[in-house]
Amino acid sequence: MNDPLAAARAALKSVFGYDDFRPGQAEVMGAVLAGEDVLAVMPTGSGKSMCYQLPALVEGSLTVVVSPLIALMRDQVHQLEALGVAAATLNSMSTDEEVRQAWRLLRSGELRLLFISPERLLVDGLADRLREAGTRRLAIDEAHCVSQWGHDFRPEYREIARARHALGGVQTLALTATADRVTREDIVERLFPRKPRVFVHSFDRPNIHLRFAAKDQPRRQISEFLAPHRNHSGIVYCASRKRTENLAETLSERGFRALAYHAGLDADLRARRQDAFLQEDGVVMVATIAFGMGINKPDVRFVCHADMPANIESYYQEIGRAGRDGLPADTLTLFGFEDMALRRRQIDEKEVPEGRRLVERRKLEAMIALCEAASCRRQALLAYFGEESAEPCGRCDLCQGGVALIDGTVEARKILSAIARTGERFGAGYISDILHGRETEAIRRNGHASLKTFGVGKDRTTRAWRSAIRQLFAAGALAEGEAGGLRITEKGEAILFGRQTIALRPEPDRAERRCVRVEDPDALDPVAEALFQHLRSLRAAIAREEGMAAYMVFADRTLIEMARLKPLDRYALRMVHGVGERKLAAYGDVFLNAIKEFLSRRTSSE
């Protein structure tokens, strides 16, 4: 076949079972097959890995893939081996047998993809041996790690350019899901001796529903969010190790299969819990950000942030772990005044150059603005990455619920006055109580019940006042003072003394906060849904028997198509998304028999 892209498309169907490329894949793959150096910024779930896997198969050559996480490398190797592709990994956790097998495949010329950590690639002499073994291409996954301006900078990534030179200056492909303009420029400067082709595809993930909510009994909010997802896999991110354990315990008591995951756990326990999440359905992983970058599980149906993320890049990458199969997925991000204050304090206390501190402050302010947005979340998110969208998405919480800004200057001046009159020594809860007229023991002790501002806002709830205080903090009218008290900034003074106005979002009633869920246009009818669950159980049994992740047998999307189309022979099954030649041979008959038996039982019972 003379057309390399046509050959890649044929391999896509025969090996992976996919009918055609996803949006953006063909142009990146065309440049790679033409021998060009490439930087590709593509959203999570768009199939970045296919851009280096298919060229290696089509050309019958070796591609060395640099990846930052061992779990991701092993997962990809297992997936490729299940498809009949010669793949291996060399990392600090590789067994002696895995290392011997990798070198056997290298020496024989059979190996197509070698996954390796940046540290291992830099071991003296290894790059030279890989060059001698005929390395054709270097692919760098999570390439934003090379940039000091990225959200996940790793110093060892800076040395990859040296390894590339030792490999013989081979063609290089760098891939990431999150890189703004400054980060992209840094990646190009650090990794490429000559300017590469740069592809920046849409950051939009239209299948992911975006929802934010101010913290108001967070455990209740999270439980309500998870309720429709009891049989689904998902991730709940927390800001601290202790919080992951406490929340996992609460969710377990409420009937969810919830597991805590953080770097402080024993390595074997972490591995077992990660395997449970990968191999089983219906597991909720309650985790710090130590979990996730290396997770290649396509059927994650939800991601919840129990605490506000540090920046938009982290938020985008973390929600991107949901819905990688293209099916609908839910997200919920909770945020509060304490989150904002903590993140600002963490940045101020870091021992980093002032330029880096300023960058991190700007990134945090953008995250806070996304939390407090009054119009389409998706438009705001895409705008951060420099992507314009003409119309509101219609699928986020604000598009569905609607929020109108109001002139909040009078309320803001009441808040600022109360803060000033109490000496800028107290936090949001105390100030809210004063405004509402709630005479607590602390307020009586301090004599603040006699202040002019005490009870001036009794027509509003303390929750509404806390919301307004949080928005003033987000807008820069308030800052954190000594001992956690609120301090009035220059902007706050301008509002207090009538030189400036401010618009605020009204706090909705709790009854109005229920999430309006997107109806899935591809929802199964009752018979197909029952068949889908039947096939899911069969998949789980096969996965347990073979010691592999369930989605490596067939992904949810494949089972859904089987349930909808109900194929009864190999030819029909071959047309289903995700059924390639290897999987057709391995699992085709058992799934066809399961479909026939299900339909037969249903017919006889009617």
Pull the structure tokens for residue 404. Answer: 């109108």
pLDDT value for 147? 78
Same domain, 343 and 450: no
Same domain, 254 and 128: no
Q: Band of the pLDDT at 30, cuts 50, 70, 90?
A: very high
Q: How far is CA 504 from CA 270, 335, 360, 433, 440, in A?
A: 44, 17, 25, 20, 27
Q: Please say which residue of 507, 538, 557 terminates a domain.
A: 507
In a domain, 580, yes or no: yes
Same domain, 585 and 473: no
pLDDT value for 2? 67
In a domain, 58, yes or no: yes
In a domain, 355, yes or no: yes
Output the furthest CA–CA distance in the chain (Å, rounded): 87
pLDDT value for 513? 45
Give every CB contact of residue 95 below 8 A, 6+ residues apart in sequence.
none
Same domain, 363 and 415: no
Look up the CATH number of the domain holding residue 481: 1.10.10.10
Residues 256 and 227: their CA atoms lie apart, in Å, by: 9
Residues 378 and 466: their CA atoms lie apart, in Å, by: 26
Q: Which of 256, 303, 262, 263 is CA-nearest to residue 282? A: 256
**Which of 44-48, 57-61, 402-406, 467-471 is predicted with the least confidence, judged by mean pLDDT?**
402-406
- pLDDT tens across 147-172, in order? 766 556 777 888 888 888 889 989 99
Residue recorded with tokens 């004063």: 434
- pLDDT tens across 337-381, in order? 888 888 888 888 888 888 888 888 888 888 988 888 877 889 888
Q: What is the rounded average pLDDT for all residues in the chain?
A: 87
pLDDT value for 148? 67
Q: Please say which residue of 200, 223, 243 terminates a domain.
A: 200
- Total structural domains in the chain? 4
Same domain, 56 and 192: yes
Same domain, 434 and 490: yes
Same domain, 172 and 240: no
Q: Please say which residue of 448, 475, 507 terminates a domain.
A: 507
Strands 208-209 and 212-214: unpaired
Is the pLDDT reported for residue 123 higher than 80?
A: yes
Residues 195 and 135: their CA atoms lie apart, in Å, by: 21
Q: Band of the pLDDT at 118, cuts 50, 70, 90?
A: confident
pLDDT value for 407? 87
Q: Which domain holds residue 331?
A: 208-401
Check if the beta carbon of residue 159 is closer than 8 Å to that of residue 122: yes
In a domain, 520, yes or no: no
Same domain, 292 and 440: no
Is the pLDDT reported for residue 512 higher than 60?
A: no
In a domain, 119, yes or no: yes
pLDDT value for 514? 47
In a domain, 459, yes or no: yes
Q: Band of the pLDDT at 517, cuts 50, 70, 90?
A: very low
Q: Average pLDDT, stretch 472-484?
A: 77
In a domain, 518, yes or no: no
User: pTM for the whole thing?
Assistant: 0.76
The share of the chain scoring above pLDDT 90, in percent, equals: 42
Same domain, 497 and 539: no
pLDDT value for 152? 64
In a domain, 521, yes or no: no
Burial tier of 122 (Cβ tally within 10 Å: 0-12, 13-18, 19+)? middle
Beta bridge partners of 138: 64, 172
Same domain, 223 and 101: no
Q: Tell me which DSSP letter residue 381 carries.
A: H
Same domain, 221 and 312: yes
Look up the CATH number of the domain holding residue 41: 3.40.50.300
Same domain, 566 and 459: no
Q: Band of the pLDDT at 292, cuts 50, 70, 90?
A: low
**Which of 189-198, 228-237, 288-297, 449-458 is predicted with the least confidence, judged by mean pLDDT?**
288-297
Cα atoms in the Cβ-side hemisphere of radius 13 Å centred on 443: 22
Look up the CATH number of the domain holding residue 547: 1.10.150.80
Residue recorded with tokens 């009633």: 509
pLDDT value for 483? 66
